[in-house]
């Protein structure tokens, strides 16, 4: 069973990219349970501002479709009820949460669960992937959302849900050393304990850690996937075979420009 057996993925379509000036025109969400879509929810939103022609062409959402629709403040309670207390998932999550923030403040509500970003997760799990756009990732991994188009909030929410589930499965198969290093790299400065896979509690209480760090710590502390690499083709699971030391560079010390190259090097599987 997946590390997070149930979660809710969501997406917004907007009139632009600036949450201070632009507005939401569609909010969609999907609940995933045990790797399968359990429920879908979507609402059009009257933004109260003109919708640029480029956005209409991209999303297929025209002013006539938005006429008479509820405001974001009216739609948000439905969305919060749909998501409940489940963990939340979005692709490029700061963009989506940024657009919801003003509406949430207006109704005195907050997002109940932690928010996981599939963009951030994909960059970690797939360091050699050519593009991290949601559509490119979903198509590259053979995921098939039920909707026929992207830039639709419901279709994108479903793609993000399926992508998150696949990435979690993949992370459980990674070399434990790679996971420990990723945790060190992602922790805020001053709290970069090694998170060694042997001994101790790598997923212990580290204060206000980013959701991704807490997630990786849980994976590292949990059982090793049967699909994890084994040293020499058998033996200890979760440790990838290592090339001779002369053929492999030592792990970088938190250099973001070389971290991805190191994780993508020999011994670390990719999807």
Which amino acids are annotated catalytic? 151
How many angstroms separate the CA atoms of 213 and 171, rounded?
Answer: 13
For the CA atoms of 190, 213, 228, 250, the dihedral, rounded to the nearest 10 degrees, stands at -30
Task: Report the Cα–Cα distance between both ends of the chain, in Å, rounded.
Answer: 19
Residue 218, CA distances (Å) to 3, 30, 50 in order: 8, 24, 45
Task: Give burial (CB, 10 Å; 0-12/13-18/19+) of 147.
Answer: middle
How many angstroms separate the CA atoms of 85 and 56, rounded?
Answer: 33
Residue with tokens 């849900």: 161
Phi, psi dihedrals of residue 241, rounded to the nearest 5°: -60, 140
Give the residue from 74, 87, 68 showing the smallest Cα distance to 29. 87
Give the residue from 100, 86, 140, 77 showing the smallest Cα distance to 271. 140
Q: Which two tokens stand for residue 125?
A: 């799990």
Does residue 104 contact residue 76 with C-beta atoms inside 8 Å?
Answer: yes
In three state form, how does the secondary structure of 172-226 look?
A: CCCCHHHHHHHHHHHCCCCCCCCCCCCCCCCCCCCCCCCHHHHHHHHHHHCCCCC
């Amino acid at each position: 069973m997946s590390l997070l057996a149930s979660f809710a993925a969501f997406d917004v379509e907007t009139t632009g990219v600036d949450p201070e000036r632009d507005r939401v025109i569609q909010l969609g969400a999907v609940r995933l349970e045990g790797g399968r879509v359990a429920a879908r929810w979507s609402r059009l939103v009257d933004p109260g501002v003109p919708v640029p022609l480029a956005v209409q062409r991209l999303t297929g959402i025209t002013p006539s479709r938005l006429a008479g629709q509820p405001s974001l403040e009216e739609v948000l309670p439905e969305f919060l009820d749909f998501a409940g207390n489940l963990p939340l998932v979005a692709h490029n999550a700061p963009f989506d949460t940024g657009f919801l923030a003003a509406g949430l403040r207006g109704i005195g509500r907050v997002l109940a669960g932690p928010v996981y970003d599939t963009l951030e997760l994909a960059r970690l799990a797939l360091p050699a992937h050519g593009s991290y756009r949601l559509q490119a990732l979903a198509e590259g991994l053979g995921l098939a959302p039920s909707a026929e188009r992207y830039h639709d909030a419901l279709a994108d929410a479903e793609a993000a849900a399926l992508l998150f589930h696949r990435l979690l499965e993949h992370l459980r198969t990674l070399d434990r050393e790679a996971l420990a290093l990723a945790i060190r790299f992602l922790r805020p400065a001053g709290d970069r304990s090694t998170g060694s896979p042997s001994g101790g509690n790598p997923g212990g209480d580290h204060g206000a850690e980013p959701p991704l760090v807490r997630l990786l710590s849980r994976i590292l502390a949990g059982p090793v996937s049967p699909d994890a690499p084994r040293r020499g083709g058998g033996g200890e699971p979760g440790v990838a075979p290592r090339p001779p030391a002369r053929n492999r560079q030592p792990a970088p010390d938190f250099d973001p420009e070389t971290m991805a190259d190191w994780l993508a090097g020999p011994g670390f599987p990719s999807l």
